[in-house]
Amino acid sequence: MTRFATHHLDDTHVVLGKLTSPHGVKGWLKVYAYTSPIDSIFDYPEWWVRKDDNLTCYTVTQGRRQGKGLVVQLEGVDDRDAAETLANADILMPKEALPALSDDEYYWHELEGLAVLTQAGERLGRVNYLFETGANDVMVVRGDNEAIDKRERLLPFLPGDVIVDVDLEAQRMVVDWDPAF
């Protein structure tokens, strides 16, 4: 099971969240975090912020929960006008800065794009993305040109139950799943 939901960006960075809009007049920004729990995004003292193909490193000076969401103060972003320039920017992190996981844990970006095969060797497609349901994570598997069909399937990410094997080097996973579903 993953501890952090991440979105694949390139070979070196992953997206951990988004700066959505200014909060107040002192440069604070609202944050939409993909991390779980959401406030673990504050475990990273520096954020790489991507806006309009520009990537800039900011030091987090303060961060906190605000209502049901999060707000952050970044060094050098001292007023609302400066905060507005970062609205809708992505928060990135170099992959090597992510915490190490145990052998049975994976980051979502590691699973996205993997080929999905049944135990009988039938290809169901590739993992397109994952989402949380509360009970467990769910993989959206889309049929591709090599799959048995073009269907989209929702498979629970349950290692030891549905997930039989994940081989990141081979870029595939084996599932205990009836292709008719």
Report the CATH number at residue 170: 2.30.30.240
Higher pLDDT: 126 or 102? It is: 126
Output the six-digit token pair for 44.
Answer: 């990273």
Question: Has residue 4 got a pLDDT over 50?
Answer: no
Q: In this structure, are 93 and 122 located in the same domain? A: no
Output the six-digit token pair for 167.
Answer: 């081989």
Q: In this structure, are 14 and 80 located in the same domain? A: yes
DSSP secondary structure letter of residue 119: T
What mean pLDDT value characterizes the chain?
A: 91
Domain that holds residue 141: 112-175
Q: In this structure, are 158 and 77 located in the same domain? A: no
49 falls within a domain: yes
- Confidence band of 5 (pLDDT split at 50, 70, 90): very low
105 falls within a domain: no
Domain final residue, candidates 68, 97, 126: 97
CA distance 64 to 77: 16
Q: In this structure, are 122 and 93 located in the same domain? A: no
Domain final residue, candidates 47, 67, 97: 97
CA distance 73 to 96: 24
Give residue-wise pLDDT tens across range 158-180.
999 999 999 999 999 999 999 98
Q: In this structure, are 78 and 117 located in the same domain? A: no
Give Rg (Cα) of the chain.
Answer: 19
- How many structural domains are present in the chain? 2
102 falls within a domain: no
Q: What is the pTM of this model?
A: 0.74
2 falls within a domain: no
Q: In this structure, are 91 and 18 located in the same domain? A: yes
166 falls within a domain: yes
Give residue-wise pLDDT tens across range 24-77.
999 999 999 998 889 999 999 999 999 998 999 999 999 999 999 999 999 999
Question: According to the 3-state scheme, what is the secondary structure of the chain?
Answer: CCCECCEECCCCEEEEEEEEEEECCCCEEEEEECECCHHHHHHCCEEEEEECCEEEEEEEEEEEEECCEEEEEECCCCCHHHHHCCCCEEEEEEHHHCCCCCCCCCCHHHHCCCEEEECCCCEEEEEEEEEECCCCEEEEEECCCCCCCCCEEEEECCECCCEEEEECCCCEEEECCCCCC
106 falls within a domain: no
Task: Read off the CATH number of the domain in which 89 is found.
Answer: 2.40.30.60
Phi and psi at residue 7, in whole multiples of 5°?
A: -115, 130
